[in-house]
Structure 1
Amino acid sequence: MLNSLLIKNGVVIDTAPAPVVLGPADVRVENGVIAEVGPGLTAAPGAEVIDATGRLVLPGFVDTHRHTWQAPIRALAPDVSFDGYLARVLGEAAPRFRPEDVYAGNLAGALECLDAGVTTLLDWSHIQLTPAHTDAAVRALRDSGIRAVFGYCHGGDPAELARETRRVREELFDTEDGLLTMALAALGPEIAGEERALAEWRLAAELGLPVTAHLGGHGRESAARGLAFLESHGLLSVRTTFVHALHYTDEEFKRIAGSGGSVSFAPVDEMNLGLGCPPAGRARAAGLPAGLGADTVVCAPGDLFSLMRTVHLLERGRPDGAGLGFTTHDALRMATAEGAEVLGLAGSVGSLRPGGQADIVLLRTDRPGMAAAHDPIGAVVLHASPADVETVLVGGRVVKRDGQLLQHDLTTVLASLRESAAAVAG
């Protein structure tokens, strides 16, 4: 059982139901759960006290879509097109990954998240070359100490897909895990065809798993046809996240929202690969929870500060001022409470509401790029960087303190990552 902990004298920012600066305040944590937020709180006997004077205190960030295994091929193709990405990364590099490379990538990638204040991650894992690759990916997430949803994607035929997904569900997620849960990462009708999609969504329904799939990112006609297929077969009764939902109309966004679905945008990656400009404002206006994802460090940054800035810029830069209603508050909410909604974790993570998990980040404000900021939320979105992340808690456990990750020997982790990088780059 975790001990009591009190974070004192920070400038506290909550994000649910909407981002708000609570002012100088304290956060009391009991057994990994946020117990109370307010000024002048008293520490329980024996509680650890973290002095947050001069710090911003806010919920940990939520990354709703990341191919974490690709950490060993960071910046492999920084200016690549989507077709080039498929050829270079999935066609050439991915087949070279050994199970130990997947472990090295997932561990280093998850630690990269924690180092940057990302406490919850959707790991969209499509590197299931063998069962040993899968086992290594899950083991690395567990070893990292991050909170994660493991999005399992198997590229085999429907029979193999069903067999292996059941194995993973039964063997690797057979007990209640406070940090790690599972989703089915579907290839979907736009990538793998309708027959395959039927098998994926029906399997998810059978196993009680949510679905996360690349949907709507491959042109207007493909988006409309794929959505109509899912609707006509009643597949959206399974909670589904539409990743790269770039080409839907407002009316289609409303239909997705009505089904209980959500969307995830990777604004840097989507623009860099030439997929399109993420319509975050339109999706949210239709009632859809919208989260942010780094997607791949092959050609995009791995921190949510960069993603918040990008989505804020793209929305506010829309023609004729159409996006000027989008604010830094909206960007922060997408990276926290709204991202939690996308992953089905609303009320558990993404905010500082009492009763939720104590996934908390402290940001320094004594660096030149953060000092004398008048609007704390604006400072988080427009000025902060991973270098400002001083302290990180996951479930009340301190995993980063005084700017240093605590749970792993980074020298060893990064040496393994470099070894894997040399092995898979070719």
Structure 2
Amino acid sequence: MSERTPFPSGRPVVLRGGTVLPMDDRRRVLENTDVLVVGDRIAAVGTALPVPDDTVAVDATDGIVMPGMIDTHRHMWQTAMRGYGADWTLTQYFVWYYLESGKLFRPQDVYAGNLLAAVEALDAGVTTVVDWSHGLRTVDHADAAVDALRSVPGRFVLAYGNIQQPPAVWTGAPEFRDFVRRRITGDDMLGFQIAFDVTGDPEFPERPAFETARDLGVPVTTHAGVWGATGDDGIRLMHDNGFMTPQTVYVHAASLSTDSYHRIAATGGSVSVSTESEQSAGQGYPPTWAIRAHGIPVSLSMDTSVWWSGDLFSAMRATLGADRAREHLEAHARGETVTHCALRAEQVVDWATRGGARAIGRGHDLGSVEAGRKADLVLLKNEHSPVSFPVLNPFGHVAFQAQRGDVHTVLVDGRVVKHEHRLVGIDLAAVRARTDATVAYLRATLGEEGWRRGMSPDVPETGILDNPYTYTDFRTASTHSRKE
């Protein structure tokens, strides 16, 4: 049973009279414009469009029509723990998930987290999510992750990872290859990446994982430039061994040297910036200023709901704030004043849409409102909010004023999945029941004292690396050190 009567399916849909942000190179704003959807594609964009007789009309007057947003790095399996780690540092996150309690997650718990995250994304107008799924301890966990994604009418990319084993081990296992053969079928609703990090160990134990990715012809996504964990040593190893490609996505990239940025730029990779995460957890200062200086493509991500909100409005707002704060601080240190912002609202809206599409290799059919593109669309409109008017600068409105409650209608692949602020065909009671079951299991397993302590876990006195990947003893002052 769904939350509401399904929107008429199989019929054309027209969004009438909205302010359309096509997200093109000219950053145009099209006022009083219609968007016609036929099947899974945008059929036309224009004024007073003629439409087929059976077309369902959605009044977009006083609203903003934009491409569906794309999140290029979200640990969806952790979403059932929403807000649990609000006061964590990155080290505490590592302790709880990588070294201790993350090992408790069963396949059904991964399913519950992915299901909740997928529904949450659609509600916030995020039509595509890269599921940076590094909790896949077994293939059963991986099957559960995909089953959850397949049950929700969104677009996803499974970035397969396993923090409990060395990348060379799990990518080399026959069951991993079998999983790829069984579940990754080329359906454009479910893409595939391999997700692992590079410690910087000169022995390069991650090489076999890169070779597997190359053999399968799939991209690698990696946490790079994470203070105390991954840094320039890993980038050099990837570059010197020929594993930096235009498809590689570097997450955070917040504590890298100019040399590493040069290598990323020269090889055509992109960076997924998680500004709220970098600000709060401590991977490094959000690096959009450095990335822009080197001409590296940018996409946005929210990382994990164990800390932050699963929407990209927050990501855009935080990114503008962090970049501009640094610009002002540096100017003041020189006795100067910033008179024009270097990073503009239109740029972060572009990163949240086209930037994400390009990062996942879908720049040709996602991320823009244009005839022939896939019909992944968002209408921002809220007649019950005083914040919905006036809309004087649409890009600024999206980046600074809008929020998930303003998401009126969402289409994915031409299908209406949210309308009039309500999800369509989604059984929230069932989602809640699965989430509650996972929380109850974890809480009972940890015990009440362990559960409370986990909200601010102790860091073990010995035997822990700041880099939580313990399959190598490599350590260096520039990446990680052992507490004695």
Q: By the TM > 0.5 criterion, same fold?
A: yes
SS at match of 1:6: strand
Structure 2 partner of 1:240: 248
SS at match of 1:417: helix
Per-residue CA distance 1:228-265 (angstroms, 9 max, x = gap): 11111111147211111012344532321221211011
SS at match of 1:235: coil
Structure 2 partner of 1:271: 279
CA drift at 1:68: 0.2
Distance of 2:170 and 2:296 partners within structure 1 = 33
Structure 2 partner of 1:398: 416
Question: Quick check: 1:423 aligned with 2:433?
Answer: no
Q: Superposed, which structure 2 residues align to 1:143-222 within 5 Å?
A: 143-154=151-162, 155-157=164-166, 158-163=168-173, 164-173=175-184, 175-190=185-200, 194-218=203-227
CA drift at 1:196: 2.8
CA drift at 1:380: 0.8
Structure 1 partner of 2:302: 294
- The answer as to whether partners of 1:204 and 1:238 remain within 8 angstroms in 2 is no
Match of 2:377 among 353, 360, 375: 360
Distance of 1:50 and 1:134 partners within structure 2 = 38
Across the aligned residues of Structure 1 and Structure 2, the Cα RMSD in angstroms comes to 1.9
Question: Quick check: 1:65 aligned with 2:73?
Answer: yes
Q: 1:177 to 1:162 in 2, by over 3 A?
A: same
Distance of 1:193 and 1:423 partners within structure 2 = 41
Scaled by the length of structure 1, the TM-score of the pair is 0.94
Structure 2 partner of 1:328: 345
Distance of 2:230 and 2:77 partners within structure 1 = 28
CA drift at 1:194: 5.0
- The answer as to whether partners of 1:71 and 1:109 remain within 8 angstroms in 2 is yes
- The answer as to whether partners of 1:262 and 1:289 remain within 8 angstroms in 2 is yes
The one-letter code of the counterpart of 2:352 is: A
Distance of 1:207 and 1:283 partners within structure 2 = 29
Structure 1 partner of 2:264: 256
Q: Superposed, which structure 2 residues align to 1:128-143 within 5 Å?
A: 128-143=136-151
The one-letter code of the counterpart of 2:434 is: S
CA drift at 1:123: 0.4
Question: Quick check: 1:21 aligned with 2:29?
Answer: yes
Match of 1:102 among 110, 128, 147: 110
Per-residue CA distance 1:286-341 (angstroms, 9 max, x = gap): 22111111101111221100110000001111121679210111111111111111
- The answer as to whether partners of 1:6 and 1:49 remain within 8 angstroms in 2 is yes
- The answer as to whether partners of 1:18 and 1:333 remain within 8 angstroms in 2 is no
Distance of 1:102 and 1:76 partners within structure 2 = 16
CA drift at 1:201: 1.1
Higher deviation after alignment, 401-410 or 151-160: 151-160
CA drift at 1:10: 0.9
- The answer as to whether partners of 1:31 and 1:396 remain within 8 angstroms in 2 is yes
Match of 2:86 among 74, 78, 98: 78
SS at match of 1:182: strand
The one-letter code of the counterpart of 1:27 is: V
Q: Rg: which structure is higher?
A: 2
The one-letter code of the counterpart of 2:403 is: S
Q: 1:74 to 1:18 in 2, by over 3 A?
A: farther
Mark the runs of 5 or more structure 1 residues left unpaired by the alignment.
none
Distance of 1:251 and 1:232 partners within structure 2 = 13
The one-letter code of the counterpart of 1:361 is: V
Distance of 2:74 and 2:223 partners within structure 1 = 12
Higher deviation after alignment, 249-258 or 71-80: 249-258
Distance of 1:193 and 1:28 partners within structure 2 = 55
Distance of 2:320 and 2:235 partners within structure 1 = 27
Mark the runs of 5 or more structure 2 residues left unpaired by the alignment.
1-8, 332-336, 447-484
Structure 2 partner of 1:342: 359
Distance of 2:134 and 2:355 partners within structure 1 = 25
Distance of 2:295 and 2:149 partners within structure 1 = 32
SS at match of 1:296: coil
Structure 2 partner of 1:389: 407
- The answer as to whether partners of 1:242 and 1:264 remain within 8 angstroms in 2 is yes
Distance of 2:202 and 2:143 partners within structure 1 = 27
Q: Percent identity?
A: 36
The one-letter code of the counterpart of 1:360 is: L
SS at match of 2:172: helix
Structure 1 partner of 2:456: none
Q: 1:324 to 1:27 in 2, by over 3 A?
A: same
Structure 2 partner of 1:379: 397
Distance of 1:141 and 1:252 partners within structure 2 = 34
